[in-house]
């Protein structure tokens, strides 16, 4: 047993532990309860009768936004507590006493947490999409693009939450993620006013809104052109790479 553990084994085992955490803690059930409330609302609306196609679209938009918000919020809390909890409870010690690399542990946690968020989002989105009647025309290709960018957004947010939790206290990490997720776009606009230097600085502020095509989809607008989609995918990938690198860097030299 004096050889390194295969990466696949590390990723699968860490993934299983994160999965157990996800399904046995309360956060997921809060999301499912929100979904249940939404479904009850839709059920009542369908009995009473949806008066216009625009109302149907509004409900669909609300449901898809709810699915997105629940998955992202769940992910922030799940990702931001991974390393701080391990350190507080000292479970990081027996974990790192195994023949695994620190950088692999960061990658394994990030992938596992992200996968959990993606699965939750997929489940919520599917239930919402099936339950709401489609009274207007929407573009299927844009739904696929929206889903793809949401997956990127979830991967990005989990990498950000993990990185922040390794640099700052957990509460601050959650707060910063919340600020960037909900207000990144507004913050960018606020800073980019007037001076070119401010415009340049603002481009470094994470803007998750760029990866959210929900309203575009429910407004019935056409799918994105290939080069626009690629640009957004590229933006997401660069952001993910930056935060994963930062998390690995922070944890590599951390004194435990």
Partner 1 sequence: MAESVIGVHEISVSYGKRGKTVKAVDNISFTVEQGECVGFIGLNGAGKSTTIKTLMGFLFATSGEARVFGLPAGTPSSRSRIGYLPEVALYYPFMKARELLELYGGLSGLPKQKLHEKIPAVLEAVGLGEKSEILLKHFSKGMQQRLGIAQSIIAEPDLFIFDELTSGLDPIGRHTLRSLLKDLKATGKTIFFSSHELTEVEALCDRVLIIHKGRIVRDAKIAELSAESGSKGLEQFFIDLVHDTEATHE
Site residues (vs partner 1, CB under 8 A): 1-5, 9-10, 13, 16-17, 20-21, 24-25, 89-91, 93-101, 253, 255-256
Output the smallest distance, CB 23 to partner 1, in A: 8
- Nearer residue to partner 1 within complex by CB, 91 or 126: 91
Output the smallest distance, CB 7 to partner 1, in A: 12
- Nearer residue to partner 1 within complex by CB, 33 or 256: 256
Output the smallest distance, CB 32 to partner 1, in A: 17
- Nearer residue to partner 1 within complex by CB, 198 or 252: 252
**Interatomic CA distance for residues 60 and 40, integer angstroms:** 14
- Nearer residue to partner 1 within complex by CB, 90 or 199: 90
Q: Please state the separation of Cα 54 from the chain's center in Å.
A: 28
Output the smallest distance, CB 120 to partner 1, in A: 16
**Interatomic CA distance for residues 148 and 127, integer angstroms:** 17
Burial class (CB in 10 A: 0-12, 13-18, 19+), 99: exposed
- State phi, psi for 135 to the nearest 5 degrees: -100, -10
**Interatomic CA distance for residues 66 and 71, integer angstroms:** 8
Would you tell me how many other CB atoms lie within 10 Å of the CB of residue 131? 17
- Nearer residue to partner 1 within complex by CB, 100 or 239: 100
Output the smallest distance, CB 85 to partner 1, in A: 9
Q: Are 120 and 82 in contact (CB under 8 A)?
A: no
In sign, the C-alpha dihedral spanning 150, 69, 106, 171 is positive
**Interatomic CA distance for residues 91 and 124, integer angstroms:** 32
Nearest Cα neighbor of 61 from 221, 192, 169, 178 is 221
- Nearer residue to partner 1 within complex by CB, 196 or 253: 253
Output the smallest distance, CB 110 to partner 1, in A: 17
């Amino acid at each position: 047993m004096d050889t390194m553990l295969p990466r696949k084994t590390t990723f699968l085992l860490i993934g299983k532990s994160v999965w157990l955490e996800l399904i046995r803690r309360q956060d997921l059930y809060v999301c499912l309860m929100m979904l249940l409330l939404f479904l009850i609302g839709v059920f009542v609306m369908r009995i009473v009768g949806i008066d216009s196609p625009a109302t149907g679209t509004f409900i669909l938009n609300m449901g898809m936004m709810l699915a997105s918000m629940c998955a992202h919020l769940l992910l922030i809390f799940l990702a931001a507590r991974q390393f701080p909890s391990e350190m507080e409870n000292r479970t990081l010690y027996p974990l790192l006493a195994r023949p695994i690399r620190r950088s692999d542990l960061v990658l394994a946690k990030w992938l596992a947490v992200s996968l959990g968020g993606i699965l939750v989002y997929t489940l919520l989105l599917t239930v919402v999409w099936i339950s709401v009647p489609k009274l207007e025309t929407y573009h299927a290709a844009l739904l696929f693009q929206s889903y793809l960018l949401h997956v990127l957004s979830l991967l990005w947010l989990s990498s950000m939450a993990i990185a922040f939790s390794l640099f700052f206290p957990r509460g601050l990490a959650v707060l910063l993620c919340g600020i960037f997720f909900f207000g990144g776009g507004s913050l960018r606009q606020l800073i980019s006013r007037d001076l070119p230097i401010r415009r340049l600085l603002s481009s470094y502020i994470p803007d998750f809104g760029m990866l959210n095509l929900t309203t575009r989809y429910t407004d019935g607008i056409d799918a994105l052109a290939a080069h626009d989609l690629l640009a957004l995918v590229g933006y997401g990938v660069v952001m993910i790479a930056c935060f994963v690198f930062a998390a690995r860097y922070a944890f590599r030299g951390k004194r435990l």
